[in-house]
Structure 1
Amino acid sequence: MQTQLQTYQTRVNRALETLFKQLSEQQPNTSTRLIEATQYATLNKGKRLRPALVYAMGEALQIPLCQLDTAACAIELIHSYSLVHDDLPAMDNDELRRGQPTCHIQYDEATAILVGDAQQTLAFQILSDDPFVSDAHKIQLIQKLSRASGLGGMIGGQMIDMQSEGLLPDLSHLKAMHLMKTGALIKAALLMGACQSQEYAKLANHITTFGDAIGLAFQVQDDILDIESDTQTLGKPQGSDLQANKSTYPKLLGLDSAKRYRDELIAEALQTLQKMDLNTTFLKGLTRYIVQRKH
């Protein structure tokens, strides 16, 4: 599993590097500082989990990788932009991300805001310009990514998260928040990887169920790592959720019960994968990796 994950990580990193090289060449009037800062916030040591899900789901459905590259880049740009804005003083006020100074610390706050804006708009620009994807599929990809990242997805979930600081919602509210904040983009990665296949309509419900389960499991593991890991391993401040009085699964359920809930979600995800008549070996390994990861 690790070898395949590294292959996907290398592929999307190269695609992103090529994208920024082309931008520098094609848009010479764009601020060098802005392009440099956008590269800094994008081309770092991210896990590239969402692009890997795009590639893995697409390959399971025999979609050529060249038809998945732009979707993989676009979803990573959206994810990276969310981290840049989350780290700002007005939000989580973090100084470390992926083992390096956050964008507003490395540059400045105004530049970081523009970097996030640039990453978000660039994601949709490259989807609309993709020469390997039909216009009909471009529309589907743009719809899925915009819905997952907007008011009813990641951004809406982040707002609920901010409003929940210092409170302890019940499990159903915490689940709903994280299905939006974290799970929506993870589920979108799978749906974007699959939507160019003729089998998509038949599998969409299973993919959605699988995406919801691993999206929640990923967040629960994040909450656990905030307690059990350390800053060097995480690449961001350990204990930041606790310090900010965030609503988390260990806070609500207790650490042991949170781990049991995570494992139940992973079991549900694996059972859903078995219902798909596909080669899902890598996706099964990636699902287990969510529990085993240390950062």
Structure 2
Amino acid sequence: MIGSLLNEKKADIDKELANLLADNGSELYKSMNYSLLAGGKRLRPALFLMLLEIFGLEARSYMKVACAIECIHTYSLIHDDLPAMDNDDYRRGKLTNHKIFGPGMATMAGDGLLTYAFELISNQENISPDTRCYLISILAKAAGPDGMVGGQALDIISEGHSSSLPELRKMDSLKTGCLICAPIDMAALIAKCDEEMQKSLHEFAVHLGLLFQITDDLLDVHGSLKEMGKLPGQDEKSLKSTYVTILGEGKAQELANAENRRAKAAISKLGSSFERLNDLADYVLARAN
């Protein structure tokens, strides 16, 4: 059920993204579109749309915001793959952006997607100006130095060094978790949730983000290029600490199971209409890519 729902949301998002950046013939737009339209799970914008539907809103009316979330995520992947960062060859089953367009143009493509995301939100007409400003603030903070970029900086610093479990959790809460929390916080804002519900949903997102990263570390050990869309074993190659290297596979899987339970517990009092979020937590726990 949840898999079908995510595929449905992915199809809607892919259709919108395909019409987002009209190809003006420039190398920059080609580079931006290359990564933006390369596929992927679209989990973050799908989570945003899914939650809006739970609140009884017409999700398709907020596609510009959903696409903005995906633009931010795609920009982060382009930059993460650069030679100065992880120096990866494959992403989403295709050669990474810098392998096709060169590191300089790939950097500009990431910058273009980052800034375009905020233009998209500012142009979402069915939301009040004040709410648009709050949405931009949520996404900017999640992507910035106190969020994903801050986590990426910690990731660079940690290369070649052993990290403790608390250090790893802090890095991943910023690098991965913030951009999973943001779609939920943004949907809750649009739906005008009360403070208690916002806190419960945010707590769910925190645990979901950690669960996602732990399963990503496990996949890096046993996954394949076909399944993951990127080469496995890159963490070990880069001498990075992961939940697997610190805890071992068995303990890492136990921690993933625990985060799955914590995510569900966070929303246990919200009612049956949020059951699909429980299904999503199970989906992330069992994912193969």
Match of 2:183 in 1: 189
Match of 2:219 in 1: 225
- How many Å apart are 1:244 and its aligned residue? 0.3
Percent identity between the aligned chains?
Answer: 34
TM norm structure 2: 0.96
**What does the per-residue CA deviation read over 1:135-167, in whole Å, with 9 as the maximum and x for residues that have no partner?**
111011101000000000000000001111122
CA distance in 1, matches of 2:222, 2:194: 39
Q: Does 1:283 align with 2:284?
A: no
Q: Does 1:262 align with 2:256?
A: yes
CA distance in 2, matches of 1:266, 1:69: 28
What is the letter of the counterpart of residue 163 of structure 2? P
**What does the per-residue CA deviation read over 1:42-71, in whole Å, with 9 as the maximum and x for residues that have no partner?**
011211000111011111112221343122
Match of 2:70 in 1: 76
TM norm structure 1: 0.94
Match of 2:244 in 1: 250
Residue 32 of structure 2 contacts residue 109 of structure 2 at CA under 8 Å; is this kept in 1? yes
What is the letter of the counterpart of residue 3 of structure 2? Q
SS at match of 1:124: helix
CA distance in 1, matches of 2:83, 2:194: 42
> Which sits farther off after the overlay, 130-139 or 205-214?
130-139
**What does the per-residue CA deviation read over 1:100-135, in whole Å, with 9 as the maximum and x for residues that have no partner?**
000010111111011000000000011011112111
Question: How many residues matched?
Answer: 288
Match of 2:3 in 1: 2
Distance change in 2, residues 1:204/1:38 (3 Å): same
Q: Cα RMSD over matched residues?
A: 1.3
- How many Å apart are 1:200 and its aligned residue? 4.2
SS at match of 2:19: helix
Match of 1:206 in 2: 200
What is the letter of the counterpart of residue 273 of structure 1? I
**What does the per-residue CA deviation read over 1:218-252, in whole Å, with 9 as the maximum and x for residues that have no partner?**
00000000001122211111100110011200111
CA distance in 1, matches of 2:276, 2:33: 29
- How many Å apart are 1:272 and its aligned residue? 1.5
Q: Spell out structure 1 runs of 4+ moving beyond 4 A.
A: none
Q: Which runs of 5+ in 2 are unaligned?
A: none
